[in-house]
């Protein structure tokens, strides 16, 4: 049977390589950071184990904390105090003081009553929608929501409706269609991961109030980044306390190692701890991530310079790219997509930038819709002004060769 299965897989993979949608994993031979050492992939005719130093412009390392000695020390201290792991789920013997302290710190950061820890934001999303919403309910989701939201919604038994991207008129139409449902919830990203645009949360919350709907926000790309204190898009949009569920991760701005949370009201958090299968049947978040994430949240309270540097770098990159002829959106986030359309062009242009010492990735279907391939640039607080200018210079020279500008 596997022979037949293999033929199908080989055919599908060959087609993906041909049309530019095949995803080749690059292997890092260094810690994460503004400059990394990457093994040159076979597709670029590399000899065995050949590696290259590159400026990294494609990590979710927004505050530049990942790979730093500061976090290495915090991690070592957490493991020394709490041990390596717990070999248990939370409700048996897998909850330590540090887990409860982190949940309290997350709730304070995001502006909710409580928070529940998960192994990843994908699991947090799955754990939420499966637990709360059934056949009598409706979930109304933005068409460009992250794959984890889409899959989580599909795994629930609720009616699923999709509204046009950040189109409040279409959202209101969908809300009217679900007026007879027991529960209805609006599901949106806070920051859309492929475009860097921000959900209009005030308008969404106003519609939710008007039609008695709940509001869910996946804030993975905003926690620690957006808002005066890093509380995410609800803080940035002035609706902290009006959003019913906020999921987020420690695996991006807050250190990058992994782990996630659902921040919500006390009763909802208590219900998740008792009924969420993704929580109940998963090991406790490991002590290194838990302790280090708690340290990061506390550390950033007295170090706003990380966010300040991130926004200065973002502003500089966007201004220089526009000046050099690139079409750059006005989105106010370190995610800066360079739209190319053609899948193969996106992949090949990223390879050319690799050769020039700039590490970026071309994104194509199914990560983004067909015909909307792009190179997604992500700015970090760790970047220097020189790094930004070098990236723009290389983008400009390579862009001209590919007829982009």
Q: pLDDT tens, 150-183? A: 999 999 999 999 999 999 999 999 999 999 999 9
Please report the pLDDT score of residue 369 as a whole number.
82
Q: In the chain, what are the domains? A: 28-57+304-401 (3.90.1150.10), 69-301 (3.40.640.10)
Measured distance between the N- and C-terminal CA atoms of the chain, rounded to whole angstroms? 50
Residues acting as catalytic residues: 193, 221, 252
Is the confidence at residue 336, as pLDDT, over 60?
Answer: yes
For residue 45, the model assigns a pLDDT of: 60
Q: What is the pLDDT of residues 261-271, one digit of tens each?
A: 999 999 999 99
Instruction: Quick: pLDDT tens for 110-148.
Output: 999 999 999 999 999 999 999 999 999 999 999 999 999
| pLDDT value of residue 153 | 96
pLDDT, one tens digit per residue, over 229-254 is 999 999 999 999 999 999 999 999 99
């Amino acid at each position: 049977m596997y022979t037949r299965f293999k033929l199908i897989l080989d055919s599908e993979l060959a087609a993906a390589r041909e049309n530019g949608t095949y995803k080749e994993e690059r292997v890092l031979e260094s810690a994460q950071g503004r400059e990394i050492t990457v093994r040159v992939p076979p597709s670029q005719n590399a000899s065995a184990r050949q590696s290259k130093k590159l400026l990294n412009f494609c990590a979710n390392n927004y505050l530049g904390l990942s790979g730093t000695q500061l976090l290495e020390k915090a991690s070592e201290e957490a493991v020394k105090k709490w041990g390596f792991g717990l070999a248990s789920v939370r409700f048996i013997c897998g909850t330590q003081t540090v887990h409860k302290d982190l949940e309290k710190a997350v709730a304070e950061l995001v502006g909710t009553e409580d928070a529940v820890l998960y192994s990843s934001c994908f699991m947090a999303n799955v754990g939420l929608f499966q637990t709360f919403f059934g056949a009598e309910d409706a979930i109304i989701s933005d068409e460009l929501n992250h794959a984890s939201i889409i899959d989580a919604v599909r795994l629930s038994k609720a009616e699923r409706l999709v509204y046009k991207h950040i189109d409040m008129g279409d959202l209101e139409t969908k809300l009217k269609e679900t007026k007879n449902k027991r529960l209805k919830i609006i599901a949106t990203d806070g920051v859309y991961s492929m475009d860097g645009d921000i959900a209009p949360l005030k308008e969404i919350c106003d519609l939710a109030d008007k039609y008695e709907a709940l509001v869910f926000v996946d804030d993975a790309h905003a926690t620690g980044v957006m808002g005066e204190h890093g509380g995410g898009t609800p803080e940035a949009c002035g609706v902290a306390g009006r959003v019913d569920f906020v999921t987020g991760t420690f695996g991006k701005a807050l250190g990058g190692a992994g782990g996630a949370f659902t921040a919500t009201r006390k009763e909802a958090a208590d219900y998740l701890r008792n009924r969420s299968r993704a929580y109940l049947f998963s090991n406790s978040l490991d002590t290194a991530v838990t302790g280090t994430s708690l340290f990061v949240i506390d550390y950033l309270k007295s170090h706003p310079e990380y966010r300040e540097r991130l926004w200065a770098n973002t502003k500089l990159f966007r201004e220089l790219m526009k000046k050099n002829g690139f079409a750059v959106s006005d989105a106010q986030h370190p995610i800066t997509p360079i739209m190319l359309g053609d899948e193969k062009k996106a992949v090949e242009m990223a390879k050319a930038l690799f050769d020039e010492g700039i590490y970026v990735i071309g994104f194509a279907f199914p990560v983004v819709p067909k015909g909307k391939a792009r190179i997604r640039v992500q700015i970090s607080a760790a970047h220097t002004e020189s790094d930004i200018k070098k990236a723009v210079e290389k983008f400009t020279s390579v862009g001209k060769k590919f007829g982009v500008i």
